[in-house]
Amino acid sequence: MRSSQFRFYGQLNDFLPSELRQRTVCYRYSGSPGLRDAIQAQGVPHTEVDLVLVDGVARCFDFNLQGGEQVSVYPRFKAFELQAGRLGPKPLAVHRFILDVHLGKLCRQLRLLGFDTAYGNDFEDRHIIDRSLAERRIILTRDLGILKQARVQYGYFVRATAPNRQIGEVLQAFELKERCRPLSRCIKCNGEVERVAKSRVESRLPDGTRRSYELFYQCRACGQIYWRGAHYARLMEKLARLQLFP
């Protein structure tokens, strides 16, 4: 049996059992595992890792441990642009998402805020990963199994279990506050939504809505009509309380 000393930094500690957080831990193994396997075996998906130093030298995920090393594992840095040794893909200029089957509410809220979000309650892991790679979509999931697959490049583990805390977490994690464009995406089909004259949709509106609202929006793809109703107002209030919406 060989061993190496591991220290996980920052939010990577979220994935460790509480007694192993914020300290150096001894990881035992046989053979000479690659860094990716050694890190994931301790619970941390590789998609959350951006830099690994082995005895002070930046190494890639394929580096093999021999025993006796000091390994420091870092998450993505937000505060400054670290160049040398980064393992994660370059940050994306446009944030598009694909969600696992359990995140239906988060999907609706992301779309309401204008983010291109792919979701289906029948999406299988393989489909999610294929589409993430083909369309450069960030996988949002509470399933570590998906994120641990080596071919996943863009992925984020949603920590919050309560659906009404997840939207705030995601906006914060990707610094999306300034990128929200409410009512520009269809909540039902993810199509693009545009302003439409009231006269064009009037006949399809409930009476109360026709009397109370003047501004309407319509999905180009499926025709769904939107207005700034109670549901919209509640989400905006919540985000304002969290200081996540300008």
By CB under 5 A, residue 192 contacts Zn ion: no
Looking at residue 145, its amino acid is G
Query: What residues have CB less than 8 Å from 132, skipping those under 6 apart?
Result: 98, 138, 139, 152, 153, 154, 155
Rg (CA), the chain: 22
Is residue 226 within 8 A of residue 181, CB to CB? The reply is: no
Residue type, 69: E
User: Closest approach of Cβ 204 to Zn ion, in Å?
Assistant: 14
Query: Please, which residue, 43 or 104, has the CB nearer to Zn ion?
Result: 104
- Of 58 and 189, which CB lies nearer to Zn ion in the complex structure? 189
Cβ-based neighbours of 66, under 8 Å, separated by 6 or more: 2, 32
With respect to Zn ion, which residue has the nearer C-beta, 7 or 188? 188
Which positions from 143 to 182 touch Zn ion by CB under 5 A, shown as an x/- string? Answer: ----------------------------------------
Question: In whole angstroms, how close is the CB of 184 to Zn ion at the nearest point?
Answer: 12
Nearer to Zn ion, 87 or 193 (CB): 193
Question: What one-character DSSP code corresponds to residue 42?
Answer: T
Nearest distance from residue 129's CB to Zn ion, in Å? 25
114 near Zn ion (CB under 5 A): no
Chosen residue from 110, 219, 235, 239 binding Zn ion by CB under 5 A: 219
CB 139 within 8 A of CB 155: yes
Least Cβ distance, residue 11 to Zn ion (angstroms): 35
The binder of Zn ion chosen from 189, 196, 225, 242 (CB under 5 A)? 189
Among 186, 201, 235, 244, binds Zn ion (CB under 5 A): 186
Give CA–CA dist 119/111, Å, rounded: 10
Nearest to 132 by CA among 147, 115, 152: 152
Residues that bind Zn ion (CB under 5 A): 186, 188-189, 191, 219, 221-222, 224
